[in-house]
Amino acid sequence: MYQLILENKSRMDLDKKIGILGLGESGYWASILAHELGYNVYISEQKNEVRNKYNNELKKRNIFVEYGEHSENFLKSVDLIIKSPGIPKNSTIMKRISDKKIDVMSEIEFASKFSKVRNICITGTNGKTTTVSCLFEVLKNKFQVLKSGNIGIPFSKIVLEKKLYDESDYDFSILELSSFQLEDCSSLSSEISLLLNISNDHLDCYQNFEDYLETKLKVFNNSKICFYNFDNAILSKRIKESENLKPYSINKKNGPYYFEENFIRSEVSHFSLSYDDMHLKGLHNVSNFIAIASICNHLGLEDDLIFKSIKNFKGLEHRFEFFKIINGISFINDSKSTNIDSVVAALSSLDKNVILILGGSPKEKDFSKICEHSHKIDKVFAYGDAAQIINESIGKKINIEIKKDFVQVVENSIKSAKNGQIVLLSPGCSSYDQFNNYIERGNSFKNIVERYYA
């Protein structure tokens, strides 16, 4: 058991009864943190199959859990609900909670109320995890840093295990925030916040795009200094530069760093970073690196150290991952690409001879934006629920072959590929029609390629 200092409990009313809605990783660790702080904790999980994963640990602590429903008794028992980010705000249970006027908070915001470490909050439609991971690698050269949030590590776990409720040696917690986490953040404070980009995503969970945008902009609330991508047309139109709202850009004069003649250059020093020396390619990654450099410059790091650290960063699996070259054919695993803008970003990073694999469960109904790069694409293989929509959007301009099954399209793309071509898995759709997640999809792609050439 963890022993927390009583004075930290005063940050929230100890008489509150905490309800945990949804028993995933974040819900589990929020319940453990709340219990260790001395709160009465009640958990409600609609899925019975979750029971075995956490039951023993929760029983040891005498934490009440109901499975299979969100009951009226649960709602009557709690004063504050910590909601799983996977539960849509327009769901029936959220309407019931709203009708009863029960306060709702995200797991990250709850944990932050007991952390004494300054936050760096990062969000955007694409590139969040890569940016958080790279920023962590750069900052750890000068500071004691942690990373948490949507990257897959609940902040409640970090606060508890690293004792952030006490005075510590840690300088910053870098928090990756999804729109679902930001929905229920009203008082999350940060030393620095960063909004990387915005495009259509998760619109099935929001009333419209404006609703989604407003949710993302919440990352700027209670932040001392805010960085935003000036090159994103929506953000540059919506956000006006001010003392605490700072733009960054690949173009000169919109921040201390810019991209010119194949180099990331600095306005404040003679140091630069060659594009050819970067492990991660593409203008979208250049933009993210400039955002990272802007934050690090604000925190006092020297350009030499910033550029060396970015140069050494090798990227993450399933994110524009060059994983194999066989018989002169390059294979890129970009399974994390789950919307059309991320496909466009991947294509922008390549010159020609692309065999593109698209498909899955569509988030959008119009894929025609991909036609802007039709001159680079030799053929498209489309699969899954999105295949017909993709064909209707781009079939008249780009050679396309449709199969229902993922394995079939990958095998057919390999068979059609020739020396000098690139087989790019950048699906532009979620994976849920045939896989549990994008990781499973990316691993399947790599396994099919490995087996084909075995």
Hey, where are the domains in the chain?
Answer: 14-101, 110-312, 321-452
- pLDDT band with cut points at 50, 70 and 90 for residue 13: low
Residue 288's nearest CA partner among 348, 238, 244, 227 is 227
Compute the average pLDDT of residues 217-230.
97
For the segment 7-16, the average pLDDT, to the nearest whole number, is 60
Residue 418 has pLDDT above 50, yes or no: yes
What is the structure's pLDDT at 202?
A: 56
- Nearest-angstrom CA–CA distance, 77 and 329: 60
Annotation: CATH topology of 321-452: Protein-Tyrosine Phosphatase; Chain A (3.90.190)
Say what the pLDDT of residue 335 is.
97
**Mean pLDDT, rounded, of the chain:** 93
| 14-101 CATH | 3.40.50.720
CA pair distance 270, 134, nearest whole angstrom: 22
What is the pLDDT at residue 6? Answer: 43
pLDDT of 10 reads 46
| Total-model pTM | 0.86
Report how far residue 75's alpha carbon sits from residue 7's, in angstroms, rounded to the nearest whole number.
29
Q: What is the pLDDT of residue 270?
A: 96
302-321: average pLDDT: 95
Confidence at residue 282, expressed as pLDDT on a 0 to 100 scale: 85
- Determine what percent of the chain is predicted with pLDDT higher than 70: 96
CATH number of 110-312: 3.40.1190.10
Give 342-391 pLDDT, tens digit per residue.
999 999 889 999 999 999 999 889 999 999 999 999 999 999 999 999 99
Task: Work out the percent of the chain whose per-residue pLDDT is above 90.
Answer: 83
